[in-house]
Amino acid sequence: MIETARALSRQDFYSISAIAPANDDIYTKSIDVTDIDVFTKQVTSNVAWSASASRPVAIRLTTILTDPQSALGGDTCNPVLSGDWTDPQLLGYADFPSSQGATGVDVLAHKAYVTTDPTGNSEDFYTFDVSNPNQTHIPFSSKLETGPGLAAVKVAGRYAYVANTANGSQLQVIDISQNPPAIVAELDLTSSGTADGSTLYYANRKVYVGLTKSTGPEFFVINVSSPTTLSASDILGSYEFDTTVNSIAVKDDRAYVATPMPTSNPPTQENLTVLNLSTNPISRLATFSWPIYATMDGLGVYYGKDDRLYLGRTAGGNQTTYEEFFILDPDPSSIATPIAKKFIPDNNNGKAISIGSLIARQNLVFILTSDTNLGFQIWDLGNLSSANPYGSLNVQQSSTAGMDCEGNLIFIGQQGNRALQIIGPGP
């Protein structure tokens, strides 16, 4: 019983629950579960044998289970998909007053943290309890105003790291262990220029921040070992792209950065750049581009558990040779030649679409697109030549923000009256 609970915790840590005493003709068995904190549970198995009323026999085994992936801000998706993803379903949803919709989504421990960039002074950081994924119009459990607005969010442990559209505090740290949450640190990354925060990525106590086009660097590596006391000395390195940083993925000592075409410096045409984070200063290892790169920007990048890169680009021409989706070998010496590529047309008019966010799981890739009808699409990586997606949904609102998964569910950010939409598989 202990081993069963341990195995379940590796699939979905938050699915473990107590089991009431039940008799199987010989033994009475039960499981007790106690939450020590959000990342730690005490599990006790109880087995009793009462064949002899004068001498009942019982045994209790207790262990502690932890969720290190969540505590470190890692991937909390189930490693194995379940259900029928050829028939994805719209489940619960949430919204907030901002008409601008969501700009960022991160889900951890059955809580969704959603950012927005509202007009005027109002709240831009919301927390939703998504423990019941089928609940319609989920109310927010907390909210916070951080300044002008937020562009992205990533949660690790008790802190949320957000990219702010203020040009004086592009990185902010929010303590989410208290209610309401509170800003505990912020950092100005453009002492020699002006730019807004545009995206970020968290890994191993470092935050990788992307900015809009600046007169200086647009990519920064920040040490957040002491997240409440950030200063300029915590900036470990930077790199100038001469353009906005749209998306970041990091693996070991390499960063994969999706950007629009730079205007002047560096002169290399690129949709994706591989940076060497082990050098000081940070250096470029390789780039990837594909016709017609001059009008197609790198928009979303994802590093899969299969050690492959998944890249989405903005829409180009309507020819099938203007692909928006790529699978790449992350090795700098091999990245220039795609493993696979695909042109995905709009389901309504056959025109090109943009691909903003991607998540790969087993043989499937989940993507958010600008398709007017099928904004959420799933493609079978083993059958990319198919004319139709493996599964798809009209998500009713334009997808404006990132996408995250927890357990076996997908969470996406949108405009309109569904800033957060939860998607699950068919039965």
pLDDT of 290-325, one tens digit each? 877 677 899 999 999 899 999 999 988 777 788 999
Please give the single-letter amino acid code of residue 215.
T
Helix segments in 129-236, DSSP class H = none
* 5-9, 104-108, 297-301, 314-318: least confident range: 314-318
3-class SS of residue 11: helix
- Whether residues 47 and 185 share a domain: the answer is no
Please check whether residues 376 and 271 belong to one and the same domain: yes
The first and second tokens of residue 283, run together, are 């250096």
pLDDT category at 416 given cuts 50, 70, 90 is confident
In the three-class reduction of DSSP (H, G, I as helix; E, B as strand; rest coil), residue 272 is classed as: strand
Q: How many Å separate Cα 47 from the centre of its chain?
A: 41
Q: How far apart are CA 273 and CA 215, in angstroms?
A: 19
CATH number for 153: 2.130.10.10
Cα separation of 118 and 100, whole Å? 6
Can you say whether the dihedral through the CA atoms of 354, 359, 166, 195 is positive or negative? negative
Q: Are 59 and 74 in the same domain?
A: no
193: pLDDT strictly greater than 80: no
Pairing of strands 125-129, 140-144: antiparallel
3-state SS of the chain: helix, strand, coil percent to 5?
A: 5, 45, 50
Residues 371-377, mean pLDDT to the nearest whole number: 88
pLDDT at 51 over 70: no
Do residues 62 and 74 share a domain? no
Do 138 and 261 lie in a common domain?
yes
CB atoms within 10 A of CB 252: 10
Domain count, the chain: 2
Instruction: Work out the average pLDDT over 88-107.
Output: 90
Instruction: Identify whether residues 121 and 172 lie together within a single domain.
Output: yes
Last residue of a domain, one of 66, 88, 113: 66
Q: Are residues 139 and 224 in the same domain?
A: yes
Q: Name every residue whose Cβ is closer than 8 Å to that of residue 159 and which is 6 or more positions away in sequence.
A: 173, 174, 175, 176, 184, 224, 227
Domain of 244 in residue numbering reads as: 70-426
- Using only C-alpha atoms, the chain has a radius of gyration, in whole angstroms, of 23
Co-location of 43 and 124 in the same domain: no
Going by C-alpha positions, the residue among 272, 156, 247 that lies closest to residue 203 is 156
Reading the block at residue 301, the tokens are 């990048």
Measured CA angle at 378 (ends 374, 381), to 5 deg: 140
Residue with tokens 């009808």: 373
CATH number of the domain encompassing residue 12: 2.20.25
Q: Is pLDDT at 393 greater than 80 in this prediction?
A: yes
- The three-point CA angle 38-43-44 to 5° equals 155
Q: Which of the residue ranges 197-206, 240-249, 311-320, 374-383 would you say has the lowest mean pLDDT? A: 311-320
What is the structure's pLDDT at 363? 94
> How many Cβ atoms sit within 10 Å of the Cβ of residue 44?
17
Q: Give 15 or 48, the one with higher predicted confidence.
A: 48
> What does the alpha-carbon distance between residue 285 and residue 268 come to, in Å, rounded to a whole number?
12
Question: What's the pLDDT at 397?
Answer: 62
Type and span of the H or E element at 125: strand 125-129
**Separation CA 134–CA 142 (nearest Å):** 20
Residue 69: helix, strand or coil by DSSP?
A: helix
Looking at the DSSP assignment, which residues form a beta bridge with residue 406? Answer: 409
DSSP classification of residue 139: P
- Residue 427: other Cβ atoms inside 10 A: 7
Together in a domain, 197 and 87: yes
Close Cβ partners of 61 (under 8 Å, ≥ 6 residues apart): 1, 2, 44, 45
Q: What global pTM score does this model have?
A: 0.87
364 and 237 assigned to the same domain: yes
Tell me what the pLDDT averaged over the chain comes to: 89
Confidence of residue 15 (pLDDT cuts 50, 70, 90): confident
Amino acid, res. 196: D
One domain, residues 192 and 159: yes
Tell whether 89 and 28 lie within a shared domain: no
What is the rounded distance in angstroms from the CA atom of residue 89 to the CA atom of residue 392? Answer: 9
